[in-house]
Structure 1
C-alpha cells in the first residue's frame, strides 16, 4: 500500500525532467511513468505547477500490488455476472491506475463520491470488495458505512454525485475545516459522458462560486457508453474548468504515479482554501461499458490494441524490473495473492442468500407508509398467484 507523499526521498533512478508535451498524435498531459516503464523526474501542468513523486521501494511495490489485485477482483466480478450470479457489472478494466493513484492520494479524512465503477477507489478506502457485489446481485444496497470509510454509496444516476459532493464540500467550509494542513477536502468521480449532464455543470457553478474544497475527477475513458469523446466536446475536457473559474489539468490516467501526484496536489490545494479544480484522467475503457454492452458494435479492434500498449499494470511492472525493485518471486507472489482473493470473493458471492422479492419494500421509509403497505399487499397477491403453477 503506497503511503508516500510527493517530495519524499528515494534512491535516484529516474530519467531527466521531460516536457509535458506528448509524442506526435498524443494529447498533452502530465506523465511521470511512460508506457515503456521509464521514470520521469517531474512534469509541469498547464498552469506551471510541477508534479513529482518519490516513493520507497516498498511503496512502489505496493502500488503494483494494488493494481493487480483490483484488476483480478474486477475480472472475477465480470465472470460472475456472465455466469448469472450478478445482475450487472460495470468493469474498470484499463482504468486501474487512475483509480488506485487517486485513491491512494486521498487522506484519511477526505470524502469520496463515486459513480458505480470506482471499485479501485473503494478498495483503496479499505472497504471489503464483497460490498459492491451485494449491490449488483440485488442482495442489498451496497452495505458499507459512508461515514466510516469516507466513501459515499455508489451512484447510478449519471452525474448526480457531483452535486452531492459539492454540497458536502460547502459544508466542510461552513464547518471551518479548511485552511490548514489538517483541512478536509472532497473528490467527485465521473466519466467523460457525465460532463454533458446538467448536474455536473451545475456542480461546477456552485463549487466555483462558493470556493468549495472539491476535486472533480473525470475519468475520460473515451466513450460515454457507445458515444465517442468527440460527441461530448470540441475541446479537451480539462479546459472546461476555466469557463467556470477554476483550474483544470489533464493527467495520463494510465500512469499511477502521475494520477497520484496530480490528485494529491489538487486535494491539498482544496483543503488549504484554494477552491475546486478539475482533473481529466485520460485513460481508456478496455472492456464494455457494463456487461449489458457490446463494444464491438461501435469501436474497432486496432483502437483497443493501441491502448493495450499503454496498459497501466505492464508499465509499472516494467519500471520495477528495470530498476530491480522487484523480482520474479515478488510478481508470482502477487499473482498468487490475487488468485486466492478472487477465489475467496467468488465463494462469498455464491454463499449470499437470494432475498425474497417482497423484501424490496422493507427499507423504503424508516416508519413505513400506507401507500407502501398497499403496494406490498398487491405484490404479495401477485406472487401468490404463481403458487402451485409450473415454472
Structure 2
C-alpha cells in the first residue's frame, strides 16, 4: 500500500485556464475531403483490407454469385483450416536492420515478378463482373505479376492475351474426356503466346458445393422468381449482364446447365500419369501441375518433368478436409524443392500471408477469392485495389520483420505454432 506525499496534498488545486482558440490554431485541424462523385471510387476509398472488399462485393452482387466465389465444398472445413493455418504462423522479426527501402520482387517460374504473387485461374469470371478476365489481366499486367486464365473462362484465350500482349500470362487446363478438344485448346494457348500451362489435377469429379446447390446456380443465371427478386437488390449487376455480350464459356460454347452438369461433362476421372506424360510431350513451354496434396505425388510430378508444383486443395472447393497446403509446404520443399519450383494456393488473404508462404519455402502464392472480391466490388479498379492492399501489407510486414528484399526471407523468419 502506498501513501501520498502530505506536502502535495496541501498544494492548492489549479484548474486549467480556458480561452477561445485562435483561428490560426483551428485552421490546421480542419480537413475537408473533396467529394467523390464516382461510386466506385467511394467504395474503394473505404476498402483497406481484402475483407473490406469482400463486404463491398457481397453488397454489389446477387447472393448466388457471391456464394459461388465465397463458398467451398460440403461443410467448408477445409477452407477454414487453411485460414487458421496462416493465423497460426508466428513471425520472428530482427531489429536494427536498414529497411528504408524494400524490394518486394522475386523470380517466379523463370522471370521477375513484382510480388511473389500469381492471380489464380477462376471460372465464369464475367459472371462476377461484366469486365471479367480482361479486367483481371490488365490489372495483373499493371502490377507486374502473372495471371492464369482458366479453361472455364468466359473470354477466349486470344482476346485475353491481346489485351496485355507483353504481360506474363499462363493458361490453366482441365483434361477433358474429349482429348482432341483438350489438345486443340493446348495448341491455341501455345499459338497465342501463353508462357506456361497449368494443369489442374484435383478434379476427377466436381466437389459438392452446397451453397451453389441450394442457390440453384446456373451458367448463365436463369430468370426465376428468386433471381427476379434479386434484380431489385442488385440492379446494376443485372443491367450489365443483360446489356453486354452474352455470358458463355470461351472453351466450351453452347453449354446450358448447372455448374455440376458442366463439371461432369468436362472433368475426367480416368486421367493418369500417362496423360501427364502425353501433355508434357505436347506442350513446348513451362508446365505447372496444380492440385498436388502429398509429398509422394509431388515427387512423382517432379520426376515427370514439371517445372513447378502448386500445393492446393482448390480453395477448399473439391475434397473437404483435404490436407492444408501451408502445413504441407515445408515437407514438400524438403522433398523436391531442388528439383522444381513450389507455389502455394488456398487461404491467402493478406500480404503477411504471402510472407509466411515465402518463409516456409514457396516461391510465390496464388490468390483467387481476394481479387474476385475486388472485381465484384468495383471492376478493374477493384482488382487494382486488391493487389495494392496485398502489396502494401507485404512491404510493411517486410520492414517489421527486418528484411529489405523478398529474396532475404528465410525459414528463420516464420514458423507454424503447434496447436
TM-score normalized by the length of structure 2: 0.29
TM-score normalized by the length of structure 1: 0.31
Work out which structure has the larger RCO, using CA pairs closer than 8 Å and 6 or more positions apart in sequence: 2
Larger Rg: 2
